[in-house]
Amino acid sequence: MTDCIQAKVIVGICIFAETMIFCYIPNLGSRLSQFRGRWLNEASLNNATSGALLALSMMHLLPEGFEKAFDGHEFCHIDIRGMIVALPILFLVTIDFLAGHHCGKNIQENENIQTITGLSIIMEEVPEFRTQDGKDVALSLVSTADGNATLTTSTRLEILWIKIKQMLLSKALYLLITFYGHSVLEGVILGTAVKDTALYGMAFGIIAHKWAECIVLTNTVMNVVNSKIALHVYSVLFSLCVPIGMAFGSVLLQGGSGSETVTCIFKLLAVGFFIYLSFELLTGHDDNEVDDRFVLWATFIFGATIMSSVLAITEYIEQKNG
């Protein structure tokens, strides 16, 4: 048992270190822009990540979600697991239309990201509203720093409602919840392992695909948050998700049916999110940014091949170790 605890500590440290490193890879890449070339650039990296996410969702998460039936997987004798996979895709596409985004386009960090009372939110347009004094107030100009601006209660409520609406129409919120929740559940699975061989086999699979999650998550957060402190907080919290899940899983009774149900449902939801992200990264290139479509296709195939190979090796190791 002591050896297993030591193995869990080693695995937790390795996953934490990998997550921290790859969370800062996009930032590092922007500083090393002079090394960009035909094959090494942001577009090719996104396409390699896109292929890796598609392989991860189709070869790893999807089979595990359909491997075992769980309580409540049928409604009126209809298997709803496929519907669970489709829900995140439909949900994110709906957000695209409601928020006015083009499918396959990320929200770029620009002047439309405004700060209200110290909070960074996404602003597609700068709305104006009329106060009780009859004055038009632009949302981007609302400030209490000079001490002369007096906001009525209704004005503050309008600002709060706009912030809530912008947050709910942001894909970043739901992607953050998915990635964080998925990572915690991965940690719980590792924490419930009782054999070193099984632990290392599962850890190898998680380490093999965690880099792709880190890059997508960091790019998503960087597009909607303009605070460096907040970026550091998001990265550290995401890096701690798996170790926290491992600690939580270590204190749970192994083999609970309730935990299996939650795990299967969340894996199926993650499949939908990852499929959406894969095609968003693949199609999110402007025509004027695409210099060589063969390179984009080749990097997509490369990412999918590498992830598929790693997952196949992981499955072989797990089957061999029983």
Report the pLDDT value the prediction gives residue 115, as an integer from 0 to 100: 40
Strand partners, 41: none
pLDDT band with cut points at 50, 70 and 90 for residue 281: low
79 pLDDT band (50/70/90 cuts)? confident
Under DSSP, is residue 100 helix (H, G, I), strand (E, B) or coil? Answer: coil
Global confidence as pTM:
0.56
> pLDDT tens digits, residue range 193-251?
767 766 776 787 778 778 777 877 777 776 667 778 888 888 889 899 999 988 887 77
Tokens of residue 48, six digits: 């390699």
> DSSP for 238-286?
HHHHHHHHHHHHHTSPTT-HHHHHHHHHHHHHHHHHHHHHHHHHHH---
pLDDT band at 13 (very low <50, low <70, confident <90, very high): very high
More confident of the two residues 72 and 266: 266
Residue 321 in this model has a pLDDT that exceeds 60: yes
For 122, the 3-state DSSP assignment is strand
How far apart are alpha carbons 274 and 277 in whole angstroms?
A: 5
The span from the CA of 263 to the CA of 255, in Å, is 12
Give pLDDT tens digits for 16-33: 998 988 888 766 655 555
Q: Strand 136-138 to strand 128-130: parallel, antiparallel, or no bridges (unpaired)?
A: antiparallel
pLDDT(117) > 50: no
Question: What six digits make up the tokens of 165?
Answer: 């609406």
Closest Cα to residue 218, out of 208, 233, 204? 233
Q: Give tens-digit pLDDT for 164-200.
A: 766 666 667 777 777 788 788 788 878 877 677 667 7
Amino acid at 160: L
Position 16 scores a pLDDT of 92
